[in-house]
Amino acid sequence: MDNLVIQALGKINMGILIIDRQLKVILWNGWLERFTGKSKDEVIGRNLLEVCPRFKLNMYQNILQNALYQGQSRFCSSALHKAFILPKENEDEHFYKQNMHVEPLYENGRNYAMIQISDMTNTSTRVYKLKNLIKELDVEYNKVKISEKISKHLSMHDSLTGLPNRRAFNERLIWAINHAERSEGRLAVLFVDTDGFKQINDTYGHEVGDQVLVETAKRLKENIRSTDSVARLSGDEFSIILNQLNDDHDAEVVCEKLGTAFVAPIEVSGNFIHLSLSIGISVYPRHGEEPAELLRYADQAMYRIKKNGKSGYAMYDSQRDQYG
């Protein structure tokens, strides 16, 4: 089946190439070989910017980065752009018109981008017909994308609090780590657990418990910067990404602010409910560079607070924070 797919990609009448996050070319189909004169053997494994210099422009760099790191699709029309893939030597690049469609791909936890190149070069009559067709397709495409956007929002957000869910949090953490790596910055992951929430549910019922969670989400979101992210992982467990920290102490300052935000009781249906937080902190790159380990270390630091009387925060310590 893989061989049939490769054969089909080789015969399809458009350029299809796939790149990874390092912009390394993973796939280069037959159309591109014929159009550019460059065989797949000499292209695969090389950096896209070397093979196709037009992508060095900031506009196209941003399109690729948004697909690779934020899962965004993008369509670029030949009416507004020059050719994206240059033809063989000795051919006039200005003669050609191309559409480009960039889509994110995912496999085994890795992100890729597929670039589709459609040759729009033809007589004026054909171009006119194609433009009308593109307009019709664009309307349908936008309708589909709006529907997909709504569906994606529902799949990436917690239905009770409206916060990003665990899946969305993981994607944001991956993006935040990649950004911090490129900028040689640091970030913190906070694992936040409410103290005594089970007792609240048992005493007041689940409807009151749900309203307490909604208010908890609201206070957490109000006490971090707009550039940071808070998510509900499950039950009464939340996690926060603090971006662009100057030093580790910045994370502790935020934890103190969050603790203060819960001094005032939460009022639900005439009940005044006191709630406190236990917060664990891990810092990139000091404690780790992988999303899963940063979240795990923050969880372990939070667990130390729980064991020592609850209500407070702690920085991860490899010597002290090990589950028995």
Structural tokens at position 160: 């009770």
Q: Tokens 């609090």 appear where?
A: 161
Check 193, 195, 236, 321 and give the catalytic one: 236
Q: Tokens 């920085």 appear where?
A: 315
236 part of the active site:
yes
Rounded Cα–Cα distance for residues 204 and 269 (Å): 10
Q: Nearest 5°: CA angle at 205, between 202 and 209?
A: 95
Rounded Cα–Cα distance for residues 29 and 85 (Å): 13
301 touches 321 (CB < 8 A)? yes
275 touches 195 (CB < 8 A)? yes
Whether a cis peptide bond, with omega within 30° of 0, leads into 285 is yes
Catalytic residues: 236
